[in-house]
């Protein structure tokens, strides 16, 4: 399994500002995933991040709003840009298991936009 | 597109009983299906994966079944304990790169 940490664990931000969330893995992984989970809702995939290439975004999510960096095989960042209260959510990163299809998740970043 | 349905109502059971949670999907049968546990304030934790050619999979007190005819998976916890109280999520592969889509989850509460 992989151990994943995220920073910050929570934040309260003003409308119109941006927040960058960091995701660190204790081993090298090919793919990292970023999800959003709104209160009482399911996880929704925002994008898949591969090292050395641009992230692949899901329908409804765009790079200008959620730019992602993947500078190496153990680290990624997700930025939530020009935030509005609708962006209040938990943001989670995950990685795929080295052998198998399961994913390992970070603890999440709880974002509140006022 | 694929949709996943899990019972949104919480399941309340007595300690020692078997908890059974349901996951239904609407379209094509996936190559595999996964179950995760999520505790409040934490990320999901992988529990079990069952492939389309497997009818049943067990791990300690957990059992998962997969019926491609009914488009349904059942997740059982036998001899349930209060520590099993959590939200349980069903997930299916969707598209390339082993992307997963998740159900909304069912909250299980096991009472002493």
In DSSP terms, A34 is beta-bridged to A47, A93
How far is B53 from B39, CA to CA, in rounded Å?
30
Nearest-Cα residue of chain A relative to residue B48: A102
Between positions 62 and 91 of A, the ones with CB within 8 A of B are none
Spans of chain A below 70 pLDDT: none
Nearest to A35 by CA among A5, A12, A66, A72: A66
Instruction: Give the pLDDT score at B9.
Output: 86
Q: Assess B20–A contact: CB distance below 8 Å, yes or no.
A: no
At B97, the pLDDT band (50, 70, 90 cuts) reads low
Placement of tokens 């095989």 in the chain: A73
Total length of chain A: 114
How far is B25 from B85, CA to CA, in rounded Å?
24
Q: Return the SS3 of B48.
A: strand
Placement of tokens 């790169």 in the chain: B97
Instruction: Give the pLDDT score at B69.
Output: 92
Closest Cα of chain B to A108: distance in Å? 6
Q: Assess B98–A contact: CB distance below 8 Å, yes or no.
A: yes
pLDDT tens digits, B35-60: 999 999 899 999 999 999 998 999 99
How far is B85 from B108, CA to CA, in rounded Å?
5
Closest Cα of chain B to A16: distance in Å? 26
Between positions 21 and 50 of B, the ones with CB within 8 A of A are 32, 34, 41-46, 49
Placement of tokens 């959620």 in the chain: A66
Closest Cα of chain A to B67: distance in Å? 20
pLDDT at B82 over 70: yes
């Amino acid at each position: 399994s992989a151990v994943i940490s995220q920073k910050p664990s929570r934040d309260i931000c003003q409308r119109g500002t941006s927040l960058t969330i960091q995701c660190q893995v204790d081993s090298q992984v090919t793919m990292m995933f970023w999800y959003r989970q709104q209160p009482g809702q399911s996880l929704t995939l925002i994008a898949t991040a591969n090292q050395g290439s641009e992230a692949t975004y899901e329908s409804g999510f765009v790079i200008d709003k959620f730019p992602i960096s993947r500078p190496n095989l153990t680290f990624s960042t997700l930025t939530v840009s020009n935030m509005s209260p609708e962006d209040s959510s938990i943001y989670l990163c995950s990685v795929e298991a080295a052998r198998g299809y399961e994913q390992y998740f970070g603890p999440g970043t709880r974002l509140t936009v006022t | 597109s694929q949709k996943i349905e899990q019972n949104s109502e919480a399941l309340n059971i007595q300690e020692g009983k078997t908890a059974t949670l349901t996951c239904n999907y609407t379209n094509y049968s996936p190559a595999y299906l996964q179950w995760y546990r999520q505790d409040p304030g934490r990320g999901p934790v992988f529990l079990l994966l069952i492939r389309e050619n497997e009818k049943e999979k067990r791990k300690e007190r957990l059992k998962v079944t997969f019926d491609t005819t009914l488009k349904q998976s059942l997740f059982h916890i036998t001899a349930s304990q209060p520590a099993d109280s959590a939200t349980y999520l069903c997930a299916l592969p969707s598209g390339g790169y082993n992307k997963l889509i998740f159900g909304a989850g069912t909250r299980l509460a096991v009472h002493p």
